[in-house]
Amino acid sequence: MRVGHGFDAHRLVEGRALILGGVNVPFERGALGHSDADVLAHALADALLGAAALGDLGGRFPDTDPRWKDADSMELLAACARDVAEAGFDITNVDATIVVDRPKLGPLIARMRENIADRLAIPPACVSVKAKTSEGMGYTGDGSGIAVFAVASLAKIASR
């Protein structure tokens, strides 16, 4: 068994969409980033890559490369999952915590879980996504940013 940890944070700004787990979240601000800035997909990708000791998302899809401008982060997550499989691992589960006071995400969590499960080719029951507030403290509480913490567990494929 292997366990990996991922983290990502983005500034929230006007004029950008807020995309989390492939879901377009209705909100007046969105995450600023080179890709679509799906902070949930980014943290999960780093957790998967970390568990397999395959580096990090920025090393595979650098923000200095114009190919990744406005890229679909769920596609990047799927690519990382394929790399993990090619390295000889099965994804057993992923768990993520989104930290932001607004918007409220509860009604969208099920769709995020389904999207992630689809891109990782695992059952939705193996995907956990939670939303927490920081009670008005820091950048996640004052509305200037959003953060996600994630973990992933992998199992070595027996035949490899």
Assign residue 62 the CATH number of its domain: 3.30.1330.50
CA dihedral 99, 103, 106, 112 (to 10 degrees): -80
**pLDDT of 9-64, one tens digit each?**
999 999 999 999 999 999 999 999 999 999 999 999 999 999 999 999 989 988 88
Full residue range of the structural domain in which residue 118 is found: 2-156
Strands 23-25 and 127-132: unpaired
| Category of 15 on φ-ψ map: left (φ > 0), alpha (ψ -120 to 50) or beta | left
- pTM for this prediction: 0.96
Q: Residue 160: which pLDDT band, with cuts at 50, 70 and 90? A: low
User: How many domains are contained in the chain?
Assistant: 1
What proportion of the chain, given as a percentage, has pLDDT over 90? 89
Token pair of 70, please? Answer: 């406005």
CA 153 – CA 2 distance, rounded (Å): 6
Integer Cα distance of 33 and 40 in angstroms: 13
Q: At what angle do helices 109-120 and 73-86 cross, to 10 degrees?
A: 40
Task: Please state the rounded mean pLDDT for residues 68-73.
Answer: 90
Q: Considering just the CA atoms, what is the radius of gyration of the chain in Å?
A: 15
